[in-house]
Structure 1
Amino acid sequence: MAALNDPRLNLEDIPFAQKRGWVARILHALHLLGSDNAGVVDHEIRSRDGLYHFGSLVRCTVEQRVIKKGQEAWTSSGGSMLEGFSAHPFGRNVLNNCIAAYLGNLPDSVRLIVLFGYGRNFGGASTGQPDRFSYVENVREAMESAFGQSMKKLNAVSYYNDRFIVVHVEHFSEPSNATHWIDKALNNRSRLRKLSFDAVRFALDREPTKEATAPDGNDVLETLSITTT
């Protein structure tokens, strides 16, 4: 792989490098892409007048220090990366600044923001409480701080304001989880896909200025939420 300062490097090749196939499969499962081929993501990233814009909120170059058996190591992977960074005071400050800088002045046409990653699950069937995901909660709170307005919960993996809906989906860096997430058979991860899918459909059908309520007038959280086990 070329170094970042290599003049031969095409910056459009960096996002989701080596993982664009999984990005395509995940977005295709939500009916946001017409194909699950990585080439479709290549095209969308390079397009100057496409339907989607791709960006990075928490860069994949973030690493965390891990101490194992007295030995220090730095790693950029692991299940606690997203929530660990976003929960730390320094990480939260970075997250707030990035949201304000890159999401603070979105065009009025933007109706949906898709974020990869849920974070760890709290609640659910084992406690009888609604599902809560640490990274989802951290980003929602950071967006409230950056925008200065409430981001109301739509269901366990999504939230909204008067302009757009934010939907979290499976992270492309975990092929095993992503495989189960895409699977049509009912399992813990595919239930999350159903939640994300419902929120995406709601976002695309919703008029941005309208309050997010279900067709029968019930609260959206009750209508869309599916308890994970």
Structure 2
Amino acid sequence: MCHSSRFSFDETRTLSTDQTWRITANPLAWGNAEPEILILGFSKGPSQAGELQRLPHNEIPYRKGRKQVGKILAHVGLLRAADPEELRGLVDQAIANTQGRFGWGSLVRCTVERFDGKTWVGSGGMIDEFMKHEFGKRISRACATKFLRNLPHRTKLVIMFGLGAKGSYVSAARRAIEAARPGTWRTVNEVAYTDGQITVVHVEHFASQGANIPNWLGQNIHPRSKLGLMAREAVSFGLASLNENTSKSAC
């Protein structure tokens, strides 16, 4: 277990041995508990930590990034094309829909923060640093084991926000998931991998800075656009597996 057996929601914290990282015990999820498609961020961010008990449940995830979430999901074919405001509304509806096709959560279900020498922060190049740290490796594998090892049979596609520098988060997340789900894993393309039961696809992070999101979306001529196209292709691959499974169930 990551925390002691007795903990208080959104209050109990566990620190790394060098006291540079900490996680706050506040695991949450949204949408359908048995989704066709599971959508995962990295962890709840700084705009959420410490506020969870006062916020309505469905307002918590992706609080300041739902337009970008909508753009990204539309780009890979999981939401219909629409203007940003409509896309935000579609994300609002999908998060609140407990009978829909989507489930929502994070790879690390607790809030992750690091000490920058003065205070605890929850953003700014965290993913790569956390996943390289021994504490981060242990926590991410524990979460993957608890929440991803025994997914519902109908869950065939996992979307993960974040790529990391030169694909570092893709590699680190894959190691955590492979450790949690022993099997025969293979590479689909540069941003996706599968064990034959689920396909994991990494997309641009919804809080990515600068021109990363427009570049990934193909709005600019940029090499990052290739990663967006790869994600779209991998989603199509995963959806084909999902549709095949649905057809067999109907027979």
- TM band (smaller chain): 0.7 to 0.9
| Amino acid of the structure 2 residue aligned with 1:119 | G
* In the alignment, structure 1 residue 202 sits paired with structure 2 residue 237: yes
Determine the structure 2 residue equivalent to 1:180: 215
Q: Do the aligned residues in 1 keep the contact of 2:217 with 2:225 (CA within 8 Å)?
A: yes
User: What SS does the aligned partner of 1:186 have?
Assistant: coil
53-62 or 103-112, which moves further after superposition?
53-62
Q: Do the aligned residues in 2 keep the contact of 1:111 with 1:204 (CA within 8 Å)?
A: yes
Q: 1:181 to 1:49 in 2, by over 3 A?
A: same
Which of these residues, 164, 173, 176, is aligned with residue 198 of structure 2? 164
Determine the structure 2 residue equivalent to 1:106: 151
What is the RMSD computed on CA atoms of the aligned residues?
Answer: 2.3
User: What SS does the aligned partner of 1:107 have?
Assistant: coil
* In the alignment, structure 1 residue 18 sits paired with structure 2 residue 18: no
Q: Do the aligned residues in 2 keep the contact of 1:86 with 1:95 (CA within 8 Å)?
A: yes
Write out the 4+ residue segments of structure 1 that deviate beyond 6 Å after TM superposition. Answer: 207-210
| Cα distance between partner residues in 1 of 2:128 and 2:109 | 13
57-66 or 195-204, which moves further after superposition?
57-66
User: What SS does the aligned partner of 2:111 have?
Assistant: coil
Post-superposition CA distance 1:106-151 (Å, at most 9, x none): 1111111000001110xxxxxxxxxxx1111111111111112242
Give ranges in structure 2 of 5+ residues lacking alignment.
1-46, 246-251
Q: Please give the residue correspondences for 1:1-229 in structure 2 after superposition, counting only pairs within 5 Å.
A: 3-6=51-54, 9-34=55-80, 35=82, 36=84, 37-58=87-108, 61-66=111-116, 72-79=118-125, 81-121=126-166, 133-176=167-210, 177-206=212-241
Give ranges in structure 1 of 5+ residues lacking alignment.
122-132, 211-229
Q: How many residues align?
A: 192
Post-superposition CA distance 1:23-61 (Å, at most 9, x none): 011001111012452111110111111011111113583
| Cα distance between partner residues in 2 of 1:209 and 1:64 | 43
| Amino acid of the structure 2 residue aligned with 1:11 | H
198-207 or 162-171, which moves further after superposition?
198-207
Q: 1:52 to 1:207 in 2, by over 3 A?
A: closer
Post-superposition CA distance 1:87-106 (Å, at most 9, x none): 21111111111111111221
TM-score (norm 2): 0.70
Instruction: Give 1:17 shift.
Output: 0.6
